[in-house]
């Protein structure tokens, strides 16, 4: 297997993952009690649409068909989110704290994948692809930071509840 092949396999993995996330974020938003948290999830859902478009562009640059490959990691993380909603069936600040942790696990997975893809695109000398994926990487990092900031207030509220 060449680095090009590893890159393409991982691109298919994150393409599948982003589309699962696109379906998962409205569920997280619907479950959120805090309106600002709900808004943050919906904003990131919109951003995710752009990220899927960028991935399609990357496939196009490579001359490959945009194709996903089942990512058990993202399926597992989303399943953990469903479990949380079973454990905490009512909206509450504690459930919000759990939703943030779920969302951050997802962002961390994305950051890990895009981090590797950007590094490989650079190693392969494809600056155009590296730039496209770097843009998404920055969005994922920003989202993660925002969630950390929001958790400060929500965790305090959860403790007092």
Please give the residue ranges that form the binding site for Fe ion (CB under 5 A).
13, 48, 51, 71, 73, 110, 140
Q: Which is nearer to Fe ion, 84 or 106 (CB)?
A: 106
In angstroms, the first-to-last Cα distance of the chain is: 54
**Least Å from the CB of residue 18 to Fe ion:** 5
Name which of 24, 142, 33 is nearest 96 in CA terms.
Answer: 33
Report the nearest approach of Fe ion to the CB of residue 109 (Å): 7
Indicate the residue among 13 and 34 with the shorter CB distance to Fe ion: 13
Asked if 13 contacts 71 with a C-beta cutoff of 8 angstroms, the reply is: yes
> What is the nearest approach in angstroms of Fe ion to the Cβ of residue 13?
4
| CB nearer Fe ion, residue 62 or residue 105 | 105
Residue with tokens 């000398």: 125
- φ/ψ of 65, rounded to 5, equals -70, 135
């Amino acid at each position: 297997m060449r680095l090009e092949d590893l890159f393409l396999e991982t691109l298919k993995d994150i393409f599948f993952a982003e589309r699962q996330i696109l379906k998962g974020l409205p569920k997280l938003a619907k479950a959120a009690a805090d309106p600002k948290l709900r808004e943050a999830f919906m904003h990131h859902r919109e951003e995710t649409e752009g990220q899927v478009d960028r991935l399609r562009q990357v496939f196009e640059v490579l001359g490959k068909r945009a194709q996903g490959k089942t990512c058990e990691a993202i399926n597992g993380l989303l399943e953990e989110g469903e479990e949380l909603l079973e454990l905490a069936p009512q909206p509450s600040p504690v459930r919000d704290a759990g939703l943030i942790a779920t969302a951050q696990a997802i962002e961390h997975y994305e950051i890990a994948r895009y981090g590797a893809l950007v590094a490989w695109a650079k190693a392969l000398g494809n600056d155009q692809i590296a730039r496209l994926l770097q843009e998404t990487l920055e969005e994922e990092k920003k989202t993660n930071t925002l969630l950390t900031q929001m958790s400060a207030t929500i965790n305090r509220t959860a403790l007092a509840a």
